[in-house]
Amino acid sequence: ELLLYLKTMKRPNILLTGTPGVGKTTLGKELAQRTGLTYINVGDLAKEGELYDGFDEEYNCPVLDEDRVVDELEEHMGEGGVIVDYHGCDFFPERWFHIVFVLRTDNSYLYDRLQSRGYVGKKLQDNIQCEIFQTIYEEAMESYKKEIVHQLPSNEPEDLERNLEQILQWIGQWLKDNN
């Protein structure tokens, strides 16, 4: 009943961002399940639509074609009710998001998570450095209004539950304020 109600309302767009391995996908999928909002993993979207602009030999991964990603997402974003998950955030139009959550993870946890994904050498080191220097958080603070950017700790399983509760509360308040 609540889900049906949610579908007919004006709904917020949420950006989940942060260094690879901080738990964006786990949080995003669970959030979508609990709210009925649409979850979009930009990495998967790019893979499906081959939205690439070459290959990065150093990091051994394709280079995202940001313009094509934005074009691909545009129609979804206008309708609202979308959770976007990506480790970068400065190329999305500012008007798309009502709130931005930057997930943060302590290096001891992050190192193990990235290693288990097969990250090695420079790719592993650079992602750890990225987290140490708050690179994604600063990118978010420069790209969006400061008051919509929030950091969430993402270390232990309890953090996931706490973060879900916090975001669900925020969504509830947003719906009240905007409908």
pLDDT digits (tens, 9 = 90+) for 134-163: 999 999 999 999 999 999 999 999 999 999
Q: What is the chain's percent helix, strand, coil content, to nearest 5?
A: 55, 20, 25
Q: Binding site annotation covers 24?
A: yes
Over 60: is that where the pLDDT of 55 sits? Answer: yes
Residue whose C-alpha is closest to residue 103's, from 148, 78, 136 = 136
Over 80: is that where the pLDDT of 126 sits? Answer: yes
Alpha carbon distance 36, 30 (integer Å): 10
pLDDT digits (tens, 9 = 90+) for 92-114: 999 999 999 999 999 999 999 99
Confidence of residue 60 (pLDDT cuts 50, 70, 90): confident
What are the domain boundaries of the chain?
Answer: 11-172
Over 60: is that where the pLDDT of 1 sits? Answer: no
pTM (2 decimals)? Answer: 0.93
Provide the pLDDT for residue 121. Answer: 93
Q: Binding site annotation covers 21?
A: yes
Q: Binding site annotation covers 29?
A: no
- Residue 1 CB: number of other CB atoms within 10 A? 5
* CATH 3.40.50.300, applies to 11-172: yes
Confidence of residue 3 (pLDDT cuts 50, 70, 90): low
Q: Binding site annotation covers 104?
A: no
Q: Binding site annotation covers 25?
A: yes
